[in-house]
Structure 1
Amino acid sequence: MFIFSNWFWFFLTLVFAGLWLGTLLCQRREKKKKTPPVSMGQNSIEAEDVLKVVYHLHEEKKDWDGRDLSVILGMSDNLIKSLIDVLIDFDWTEKDREGKYHLTEKGKQRGRELIRAHRLLEKYLVACKGMSLDEVHSEANRMEHEISSEELDKLDNELGYPAWDPHGQFIPEPDGLTTSLPKHSLVEAWKSGSRMRIVSLNDEYTALLAQLVAMGFEPGIDIDLVDRKQNILYLRIGDKIVPVAEAAANHIFVAPSPVLPIPLGQVPVGSRAQVTDVKGGGKHQRRMLDMGFVPGSEIFVMRKAPLGDPIEYWVKGTAVTLRQKEADTILVEELDV
């Protein structure tokens, strides 16, 4: 009886030890699945930097492959594959049956959060810290990984809910809504003798951005397109003629400059107009943009109330009613009916 009791406890101990060891191995296996490769570091900063590149690629193509990313980043196929694997480990990217990659909903959300943080921080650094346009990109790129969503909302409030960053890029709202401005590169929009307004500058290439800023290019200024010879564009900024290589001009985005804009509230019923600018800052400006009153969009004045207020407009396939006071914050150029 004593011998049987010893064997019983011995086998019972082995069973519990086996169960404990199996549980430990399963836990380690699950942890290994969820943990991103050590080559990306102990945090997600590098992965988030790649995610921003992929997010912009997604906006252009929806689906993409390793070759697309390789062209943008200039890296070898093996390194690109490792980067994509990291995005998959973070559940930001998935691969379809045709070998194309797509952003997951989680990846889209995090990408929008990073872009919103980056552009708000750029606005803060220029408006509150006095940094120049060519300095803020790298600093904002460092800070965007550290700021919390609560701190970002507070910063948005303190800045007055700006609609654009200093480079002319639209700042996404907390719910992810974005507004696209109709714009073309200076090379695409070239027409000698015309006047254009700079909408935005590409801020991805710091050295080029610094050169463009030093030459006088900034969002919001008007330029005259004078001449074009041997891949050189000659522009008038103020009273100066400035030569710009086509390669650099591809990073300057423009829209037609408005001619004697008038408040939308002054456009008569039955007329057509094109938005040139939206006045007023913060939430009002964002609300107007969300409803479709973005620079470049066409508007048809449908009807006015008996007393002239409110006014109904047709914009982007939707009927929108505005008070006279709201309509007067939208500057337009009348078009031929």
Structure 2
Amino acid sequence: MPDPPVAASRWSDSVENYLKVIYTHTEWQPAPATVSALAAKLQLAPSSVAEMIKKLDRMGLVEHVRYGAVTLTGRGRLAALDMVRKHRLLESYLVAELGYSWDEVHDEAEVLEHVISPLLLDRIDARLGRPTRDPHGDPIPRSDGTVDRPVATVLADLAAGTTGSVVRISDADPAVLNLAAQAGLGLDSLVTVVRLEPLIVSVAGARVQLPAGAATAIWVARFDPATMPR
């Protein structure tokens, strides 16, 4: 039998959104989650974000160093992981079962994640075969709150000639997702960096020029040249 879903109190939609954004902000990069950074992500005034962070601090969900980083407490992290799990399983279900394209699912999941029951979420998880990643390659937290993130590097940090397998394509810019799909570039695609400026990669033997934003949106697991087939 699968583990029961992570138990989490039902917070307001706003609280849940903040916790999720704080978690995802530092999931793939080291820059701290500051009030200004969160305001930019949420497209809200810094003063409004600062007030909500104070509220979350009083609730015991975050810790905030004045003018510094906002970090999740243990309780806040569990609640954030619960939301991330809902969001990514919903995205996976919409793509696999309802025929959504991967650039359409984010906004739908943003709505559904706040109302789905633990039972329905677990049924979706089982239906999909307990997936470990969503359609964009982001890891799906397990029902016990644990999560594994693959070791990966953005294309921008690779040297020309480097080959790797695509493990993540950020959904921050739908245009990048569309272009990647048109180029036949998806999760597990084998890609070789031909040059970085402009960004040109080789996919399935074809050279493809990608927009500059793709250099920091596409993550690959590098292959060791010694293990590459000859």
Shorter-normalised TM range: 0.7 to 0.9
Residue 23 (structure 2) pairs with residue 49 (structure 1): no
Structure 2 residue matching 1:128: 3-state secondary structure: helix
Normalised TM-score (structure 1): 0.57
Structure 2 match to 1:16? none
Letter of the structure 1 residue corresponding to residue 38 of structure 2: L
Residue 88 (structure 2) pairs with residue 119 (structure 1): yes
Contact residue 133 and residue 213 of structure 1 kept, 8 A: no
Letter of the structure 1 residue corresponding to residue 165 of structure 2: R
How many Å apart are 1:258 and its aligned residue?
Answer: 7.2
Q: Which has the higher strand share?
A: 1
After superposition, the C-alpha distances for 1:244-279 in whole angstroms (9 at most, x for unaligned) are 23332210001124789xxxxxxxxxxxxxxxxxxx
Structure 2 match to 1:218? 186
Structure 1 match to 2:51? 82
Contact residue 65 and residue 99 of structure 1 kept, 8 A: yes
1:58–1:240 CA distance, 2 compared to 1 (3 A): closer
The correspondence of residues 69-108 of structure 1 with structure 2, limited to 5 A, is: 69-88=38-57, 90-95=59-64, 100-108=69-77
Contact residue 222 and residue 257 of structure 1 kept, 8 A: no
1:243–1:110 CA distance, 2 compared to 1 (3 A): same
State the superposition RMSD in angstroms.
2.8
The correspondence of residues 159-170 of structure 1 with structure 2, limited to 5 A, is: 159-170=128-139
Contact residue 165 and residue 189 of structure 2 kept, 8 A: yes
Structure 1: runs of 5+ lacking an equivalent = 1-42, 261-332
Hey, which bits of structure 1, 4+ residues long, moved more than 6 A? Answer: none
Which of 146, 157, 169 pairs up with 2:126? 157
How many Å apart are 1:118 and its aligned residue?
Answer: 1.0
How many Å apart are 1:173 and its aligned residue?
Answer: 0.7
Counterparts of 1:98 and 1:127, CA distance in 2: 43
The correspondence of residues 127-276 of structure 1 with structure 2, limited to 5 A, is: 127-189=96-158, 191-228=159-196, 231-257=197-223
Letter of the structure 1 residue corresponding to residue 161 of structure 2: G
Counterparts of 1:196 and 1:58, CA distance in 2: 23
Contact residue 153 and residue 222 of structure 2 kept, 8 A: no
Structure 2 residue matching 1:187: 3-state secondary structure: helix
1:179–1:227 CA distance, 2 compared to 1 (3 A): same
Normalised TM-score (structure 2): 0.81
Counterparts of 1:257 and 1:97, CA distance in 2: 42
Structure 2 residue matching 1:161: 3-state secondary structure: coil
Structure 2: runs of 5+ lacking an equivalent = 1-10
Counterparts of 2:161 and 2:67, CA distance in 1: 48
Structure 2 match to 1:293? none
1:241–1:149 CA distance, 2 compared to 1 (3 A): same
Structure 1 match to 2:5? none
How many Å apart are 1:207 and its aligned residue?
Answer: 3.5
Number of residue pairs the alignment of both structures matches? 217
Q: Which has the bigger relative contact order, CA under 8 A and spacing at least 6?
A: 2
Counterparts of 1:62 and 1:227, CA distance in 2: 27
How many Å apart are 1:131 and its aligned residue?
Answer: 1.3
